[in-house]
Amino acid sequence: MCRPISPRLLRLQRGVIIATDISNTPAFSQLDIAPTIASILGLELPEKDGRAIKAVADWGCKKAALIIVDSLGYDLLIHLLPQMANMNLLSQDGLLLPAKAVSNRTTPAIASILSGLLPEHHQILDKAGAKESSILSLPEIAASAGEVCAVIMEQNGAEVYQGLIQKVYGIKDSLPPHEFDHEACRLTCQALLDRPDLLVSYFIGIDKNAHLGSDLKGIREAALLIDSCIGRIMALADEETLLVICGDHPIHAGRLKRVDEPYCVAMILARGRGRWPE
């Protein structure tokens, strides 16, 4: 599924830009997410290895909700997209891009997504490193600028933000994958009711199923659960909210493990579709 469909990287299709060619290094990276969200929020990152994605600048967004989906590789998403009503809708409304994965491991990849820095620059290689690191990530930078931030993650990741941002929700990663994602969905929807400036949420089901050795059917079920939650999120996030959905790495374990380059994750950028009374 990673083969080029068109010789051009970007193709304009019914007004929607769809990236089609990831046979070479893709033009976009996970490193672009933090600079893009920072520019929406009017913030400056102290250092960054990525660039703000210009296409979203004129969407009129002032807030952002970042949904990190563990193991959401680009080829996996393209394969499942016809069945994923909500991510499909957002892709058609906005942008679906292959983004270069900076690491094949969860913690360094998420640190890059949240800082805009390469792993060799943020040096966060494991959960203990995340707690000790002095590198500022987007939620901390936004909170210190007075923005209301919410983080919904597995317990260890969430603890990093305790006392630094307004709303921190930790979820036990000992929960079965579907229970974890149901809880992540419930807490994300609850947090969105307060209309935070920045929300970061994390879904684990695809990755856990991959590690448990599930076949494509099991992975698809996990992805469909996440897609149904994306539907609730996009109905709660208003049109001034930039939704960013991205993977941390392609599937890195189990039967569907990606073993060849290019290592690309899916990145969807779109506006929320909720309408709130003035």
Minimum separation from the CB atom of position 166 to Zn ion (A): 26
What minimum distance in Å lies between the beta carbon of 190 and Zn ion?
24
- Residue 255 CB, shortest distance to Zn ion, in Å, is 17
Output 62 or 255, the one with its CB closest to Zn ion: 255
Name the residue nearer to Zn ion (CB basis): 205 or 272.
205
Nearest residue to Zn ion, using CB?
106
- Nearest approach, Cβ of 112 to Zn ion (angstroms)? 12
**CB nearer to Zn ion: pick between 9 and 158:** 158
Which helix (H) or strand (E) is 135 found in, with range? none
Query: Within the chain, where are the H helices?
Result: 33-41, 74-80, 85-93, 106-115, 119-122, 127-132, 138-144, 155-159, 177-192, 205-211, 216-236
- Rounded to a whole number of angstroms, the minimum distance from the CB of residue 75 to Zn ion is 16
For the chain, how far is it from start to end, CA to CA, in angstroms?
A: 44
For residue 204, the minimal CB distance to Zn ion (Å) is 8
Q: What share of the chain is helix, strand, coil (3-state, %, to 5)?
A: 40, 20, 40
- 201 within 8 A of 65, measured Cβ to Cβ: yes
Nearest residue to 206 via CA among 237, 162, 251: 251
**Positions that interact with Zn ion (CB under 5 A):** 70, 106, 207, 248
CA distance 145 to 249: 30
CA distance 58 to 54: 8
Taking each helix axis from N to C end, the angle separating 177-192 and 216-236, rounded to the nearest 10 degrees, works out to 10
35 vs 157, which CB is nearer to Zn ion? 157
Q: Which is nearer to Zn ion, 73 or 98 (CB)?
A: 73
Cα 225 to its chain centre, rounded Å, is 16
Among residues 141 and 245, whose Cβ is nearest to Zn ion? 245
